[in-house]
Amino acid sequence: MKVLVVGSGGREHAICWKISQSDKVDKIYCAPGNAGISQVAECVDIKAMEFDKLVQFAKDNAIDLTVVGMDDPLVGGIVDVFEKEGLRVFGPRKNAAILEGSKAFSKDLMKKYNIPTAAYETFTSAEDAKEYLKTAEFPIVLKADGLALGKGVLICGTLEEALAGVDELMLDKKFGTAGDTIVIEEFMTGREVSVLSFVDGNTIKIMSSAQDHKRALDGDQGLNTGGMGNFSPSPFYTEEVDDFCKKYIYQATVDAMKAEGRPFKGVIFFGLMLTPKGPRVLEYNARFGDPEAQVVLPRMKNDIIDVFEACIDGTLDKVDLQFEDNACVCVVLASDGYPLEYKKGYEIFGQERFNDKDGYYLFHAGTKFNEEGKVVTNGGRVLGVTALGKDLVEARANAYKATEWVTFANKYMRHDIGRSIDEALK
């Protein structure tokens, strides 16, 4: 069969790589892709939001299945457009992707269906938000309602910071229209854990847990980013936590979406906070996480095509989803200056050192070919250096060893990805 993947980041590289393991697939295309993705798929010069061009390409090339990796096209309704044309596509429809597209919607859904989350209020007026903040307890969290590349969350320790945050989101429009509406919610303490799941509208199957590192600098300091690295599984995601989430969060979310007339098919990403009072939902995403996909998919035993098709066909209950009894760590190599200003266009050296090394992966995020055909940096997050190990400590050591194999002029990375692993296992 022929498969088209929509997207251009490390997540899409991991998806393409996993699809390439399937005996059912003869040809993979990726639109628009990147330099690394071109090693496992034919890249197509069509942007993720050019729905009409993507549909025409799928028809012209007899694509059997399209897999949408990115949030923007999902929230924009790409699945609806493909389905209208009779094309087979993996991902939630527009009315279900709102689970990620609007934080106000997701918070209201959780409140209505008693899904554990932080207390919150929603505002469309900056003046009203500021008046509310004058009566609030601190620290407090401000969230842009819409998509903001994973960066539209402000943790404010004082009233002054919070008032400035409202201006930043709602008046200065730092994240554009995403800040037209904001959610103000209580600050929760505990460990953050990411849990990905496959959903077919009725049944939900949980993938292995992961744990992200959002801050740009060591020690969880600096600005929020799209993710500087992560690991799977999380030692903090215990059987007790799993039992609680299965009872009160996972299936409850799927049932709530169905009850609202928004049946969800695709991947639901649960961002959880393990608080002293139990797990709470921080956020939902309507697709694979990035870089969560890079540490979860290498551990997955199943043929991913079988799982994609089961989600589309409503037969996920028949799938025995399995993961290796091992661990995986991803360290993101970024452009120095990310997530603010940084330079691009530096040649990347050492990629060949990953060839034929079992258990080591180099997933490309922000890369491209220059005019001379050299692979160069083309984004803030450039590469995801990923490695397996028998346990988290070994996987972490392997990943950091592999970061030395590849270089570029303004290479930057955190040096403490997974350090909490060591603390937890002492």
* Residue type for position 184: I
The beta strand positions in 124-166, using DSSP E, are 140-144, 153-156
DSSP designation for 61: T
Residue length of the chain: 426
Do 303 and 404 lie in one domain? The reply is: no
pLDDT tens digit sequence for 274-295: 999 999 999 999 999 999 999 9
Which pLDDT belongs to residue 148?
A: 75
* Residue type for position 48: A
The burial of 25, by beta-carbon neighbours within 10 Å (0-12 exposed, 13-18 middle, 19 or more buried), is given as middle
> Which whole number is the average pLDDT over 398-404?
98
Do 292 and 215 lie in one domain? The reply is: yes
Helical segments of 24-158, H only: 51-60, 71-76, 78-84, 94-101, 103-112, 126-133
Please identify, among 151, 186, 221, the residue that sits at the C-terminal boundary of a domain: 186
179 pLDDT exceeds 70? yes
Angle ∠(265,75,142) on CA atoms, nearest 5: 110
The burial of 419, by beta-carbon neighbours within 10 Å (0-12 exposed, 13-18 middle, 19 or more buried), is given as middle
178 pLDDT exceeds 90? no
Do 128 and 233 lie in one domain? The reply is: no
Of the listed ranges 62-66, 189-193, 270-274, 361-365, the one predicted with least confidence: 189-193
Mean pLDDT of the chain: 95
Do 215 and 285 lie in one domain? The reply is: yes
The burial of 152, by beta-carbon neighbours within 10 Å (0-12 exposed, 13-18 middle, 19 or more buried), is given as buried
Which pLDDT belongs to residue 200?
A: 98
Owning domain of residue 306: 191-318
Which pLDDT belongs to residue 150?
A: 66
Question: Would 111 be classed as within a structural domain?
Answer: no
Tokens 């969560």 appear where?
A: 292
273 pLDDT exceeds 80? yes
Closest residue by Cα to residue 18 from 216, 381, 305? 305
Question: Would 98 be classed as within a structural domain?
Answer: no
Please identify, among 291, 318, 345, the residue that sits at the C-terminal boundary of a domain: 318
Cα separation, 135 vs 157, whole angstroms = 14
pLDDT tens digit sequence for 211-268: 999 999 999 899 889 899 999 999 999 999 999 999 999 999 999 999 999 999 999 9
Which pLDDT belongs to residue 421?
A: 65
pLDDT tens digit sequence for 291-330: 999 999 999 999 999 999 999 999 999 999 999 999 999 9
Question: Would 6 be classed as within a structural domain?
Answer: yes
Which pLDDT belongs to residue 420?
A: 65
CB 13 within 8 A of CB 362: no
CATH of the domain at 337: 3.90.600.10
pLDDT tens digit sequence for 83-119: 999 999 999 999 999 999 999 999 999 999 999 999 8
Do 303 and 197 lie in one domain? The reply is: yes
Cα separation, 164 vs 214, whole angstroms = 22
Closest residue by Cα to residue 140 from 188, 82, 211, 208? 188
Question: Would 350 be classed as within a structural domain?
Answer: yes
Give percent of the chain with pLDDT exceeding 70: 98
Which pLDDT belongs to residue 152?
A: 83
Please identify, among 265, 296, 318, the residue that sits at the C-terminal boundary of a domain: 318
Do 126 and 223 lie in one domain? The reply is: no
Do 204 and 293 lie in one domain? The reply is: yes
pLDDT tens digit sequence for 331-381: 999 999 999 999 999 999 999 999 989 999 999 999 999 999 999 999 999
> Which whole number is the average pLDDT over 204-214?
95
- pLDDT grade, residue 419 (50/70/90)? confident
CB 413 within 8 A of CB 228: yes
CATH of the domain at 8: 3.40.50.20
Question: Would 102 be classed as within a structural domain?
Answer: no
Do 167 and 242 lie in one domain? The reply is: no
Question: Would 251 be classed as within a structural domain?
Answer: yes
Helix (H) or strand (E) holding 267: strand 265-275
What's the total number of domains in the chain? Answer: 4
Give percent of the chain with pLDDT exceeding 90: 91
Question: Which residues have CB under 8 Å from 355's CB, separation 6+?
Answer: none
Do 174 and 200 lie in one domain? The reply is: no
Return the CA Rg of the chain: 21
Q: Considering all CA atoms of the chain, what is the largest pairwise distance in Å, rounded to the nearest integer?
A: 60
Closest residue by Cα to residue 207 from 237, 186, 167? 237
Do 178 and 195 lie in one domain? The reply is: no
pTM of the model: 0.92
Question: Would 388 be classed as within a structural domain?
Answer: yes
Question: Would 340 be classed as within a structural domain?
Answer: yes
Of the listed ranges 28-32, 150-154, 205-209, 376-380, the one predicted with least confidence: 150-154
Do 134 and 57 lie in one domain? The reply is: no
29 strand-pairing partners:
4, 42
Do 72 and 132 lie in one domain? The reply is: no
CATH of the domain at 123: 3.30.1490.20
Angle ∠(57,62,67) on CA atoms, nearest 5: 70
CB 27 within 8 A of CB 378: no
Cα–Cα distances in angstroms (integers) from residue 351 to residues 29, 85, 277, 335, in the given order: 22, 40, 46, 17
425 pLDDT exceeds 60? no
Which pLDDT belongs to residue 4?
A: 98
At 103, list the tokens: 């934080």
155 strand-pairing partners:
141
Which pLDDT belongs to residue 426?
A: 54
Which pLDDT belongs to residue 354?
A: 97
